[in-house]
Amino acid sequence: MLSIRCGNILSRIYKLSLLTGFCALLQLMALPVQAQDTAVGDPAADTASPIVEYPASFFSRYKPNTALDMIKQVPGFQVDDGDTARGFAGSAGNILINGQRPSAKQDSPSAILSRVPASQVIGIKLIRGQVKGVDLRGQSTVVDVLMLDDAPAAISWETYSLYSTASPLRVGAKSSIADRWRDVEYNFGIDLLRDGNGEFGNEYIYNHNHTLTETRYEKQKETGFGSDLFMNASTYLGATFFHINGKLGLGNGPEIRDSHRVPVSSIARDNTVKDSQHFETYELGLDAERELADKLTAKIILLYTDKLSDITSTQTTITVSGIPLLFKQAETVSKTKEAISRLELDWSGLADHAVQLNVEGAYNVLDGTLFQVENKGAGIVVVDVPGGNSKVEESRGDFLLKDTWSLGQFELDYGMGAEASRITQSGDADLQRNFFFVTPQAALSYTPAKGNLSRVRLAREVAQLNFNDFISTTVFEDDDLALGNPNLRPDSTWIAELSHERRFGDSSVIKVTAFHHWITNVLDLLPITPTFEVPGNIGNGKRWGVEIENTIPLAWLGLTGSRLDTKFRWQDSSVVDPVTGVDRVLSAVSGFRGVPDIKFRQGNEYVIDVSYRQDFEEERIAWGWRMAEQAERPVFKVNEKEISDEGVLFSLFLETTRWFGIKTRIEGHNLFNYYEKRDRTVYAGERELSLVDSYALRERNVGRRVNLVLTGSF
């Protein structure tokens, strides 16, 4: 196993060096050429403004059907819908619509724009620094989608079908209508999905001497149905502008995991875990904005979300001859609610200043219940899972007072905030705790000339706790428990960033960002016994690294209408391990299930993501590819170390609008057919302080996938 792992590491280094070297070579070759590209109507022709304006005509080469199609082609921009866990400010993301963020969380900005026909977009502003009247909310770059007034009625639609060699067929359809009724502009949409997901593979169990003791042949399949209804509407009532957003979501379906287990020295058995799932989501948001006085504007936001998750899990183990060995059943019900009220005041009464005051109050509650029984041959007995039945409530209030000060080529954005919260838990654990944090922030942007922007940022951010970490759950697949911890504290992070962006012409950009994070009360896995751990705070830690993003047109190579987009992230980290007492890296996000993709920010050592696109405008055809690779992701448990890993993701697409104005796109995903791997080392006692008990190597094939997408509007 050691030689295999070393071989994998060397292979990764080789592939990564090839990709990085290739991208660096293109940058060095392309940048001098692009620096001379100054076409008439160049969106980057502004002298020293942090705003780059792209008219709708800029995107015509891509034949967009929706506003989201247009945003995805903005050079040097990556869509971020924000974090739905933390209030309204934390879920803001980096997308504005007519200068405003939608009063919604479960209906993301990108989802809203996917229902807006491209014909209703005037243009897109890329805001890449501090600008008066724009609250970046921690983002370095945002886009503002400018919509037409009094746009004619339009209907957009999409159908898709996904075939996989490892999954059931997935099909879906979306449709929306945008129109005006009297003085009310509205957009209604519906999404329907017949889900299909799956994977298959083997798991090999070894003893401490690396001798094979058991082989498991496994298959996972998930099906189900989902539907979502959306509504957005806005109008003026007198001098007040009102906007309302709503969502209703329903979903259900089974997930089945079969494991045929063949021990070397005992009887083979079949283990089946089935999850019967039901989900409901309701959300309603309302915001109202008006000018209270000269140069003073106020906005009030009200948001309510209600979610239900009901999952019944069963585990059945029988011999190959049909003799029952084990039966378990657990019903887990989670009800979550969130209510938010927010006031935003903007004042521009001082020359070269824009002052903002944001005040927000939020109430969150999670009511979770767990009922579990099992039968090991002596009859059904009720299993008491400590911490499985609890109610967690949080009341939180925060404010932020900030100013954007324009100083010629400089923009200084500085402010002071604070938040106070109370978390109460009842049920299996009764506890109440209060927290208070001061959250200062400052960012200085320097725009000396056309296409150049430098930025330094220092801020303190407080994380939102995941209430599911307070409540215990069962993990039948690993014959384990995920215990909850009622003593969790939010972690807070001091963030320092230094970035520089250089733009050449209308489509070429390179951006480099160096970052360092100082984390207090790192959230990780905290040991409570030699064999069990809970989510907990393990001390202070650090994270540092660099991100490089660029977009390079390749017309100078004779590839007309083509561009190459590259994203690269490298990071290192350090925290004192609560088990061993020595420094190690932070735990990362564990393995994926059924969806072959590479995420850009998962806490692992590196990610590189390269995509290519070429448009033939006269022929109305485009094609492209994407290649991505990431480092392995370790998770440190009290008596176990788990490493998730996979290979290179490679995808191709071909799209055309030649027939009836319908965009037809065929995509091939995961064409290299990588395996998701999970390598577990289980110790007899505490990790790395005792002898190894066993090893488990799991390999899952998620399959090659072909997706056919038809989109249109009229």
- DSSP secondary structure of 464-508: PP-GGGGS-EEEGGGTEEE---TT----EEEEEEEEEEEEETTTE
Q: Are strands 121-127 and 154-164 parallel, antiparallel or unpaired?
A: unpaired
Tell me the one-letter amino acid at 348.
S
Q: Please, what is the average pLDDT of the chain?
A: 86
Q: How far apart are CA 268 and CA 263, in angstroms?
A: 6
What's residue 602's pLDDT? 64
* Residues 63-66: contacts with CB under 8 Å, at least 24 apart: 63/615, 63/620, 63/622, 63/655, 63/657, 63/663, 64/118, 65/117, 65/118, 65/156, 65/158, 65/663, 65/711, 65/712, 65/713, 66/113, 66/114, 66/115, 66/116, 66/117, 66/118, 66/156, 66/711, 66/713
Residue range 72-99, pLDDT digits in tens:
888 888 887 766 555 666 566 788 888 7
What's residue 87's pLDDT? 63
Q: Are strands 95-97 and 142-147 parallel, antiparallel or unpaired?
A: parallel
Sign of CA dihedral 553, 554, 559, 565: negative
What phi and psi, each to the nearest 5 degrees, are found at residue 287?
-135, 150
Q: Where are the domains of the chain?
A: 2-713
Residues in the chain: 714
What's residue 543's pLDDT? 94
The token pair that represents 332 in the structure block: 């887990």
The token pair that represents 690 in the structure block: 């005792």
The token pair that represents 117 in the structure block: 């026909």
Q: How far is CA 598 from CA 284, 501, 532, 543, 592, in A?
A: 32, 25, 30, 21, 9
Give the count of beta carbons closer than 10 Å to the beta carbon of residue 415.
20
> Architecture of domain 2-713 in CATH?
Beta Barrel (2.40)
What's residue 314's pLDDT? 95
Q: How far apart are CA 261 and CA 698, in angstroms?
A: 13
H or E, element range at 17 = helix 2-34
Q: Which residue has the tokens 């080469």?
A: 61
Residues of the chain with pLDDT under 70: 1-49, 82-92, 129-139, 590-602
What's residue 704's pLDDT? 93
Q: How far apart are CA 332 and CA 370, in angstroms?
A: 5
Q: Which residue has the tokens 């897109």?
A: 124
Q: Which residues pair with 529 in a beta bridge?
A: none
The token pair that represents 352 in the structure block: 């070269």
Q: How far apart are CA 249 and CA 231, in angstroms?
A: 12
What's residue 34's pLDDT? 35
Q: How far is CA 460 from CA 375, 397, 415, 437, 537, in A?
A: 51, 17, 11, 9, 18
pTM: 0.85
What's residue 137's pLDDT? 65
What's residue 86's pLDDT? 57
* Residues 496-500: contacts with CB under 8 Å, at least 24 apart: 496/457, 496/458, 497/140, 497/455, 497/456, 497/457, 497/458, 498/455, 498/456, 498/457, 499/140, 499/454, 499/455, 499/456, 499/457, 500/452, 500/453, 500/454, 500/455
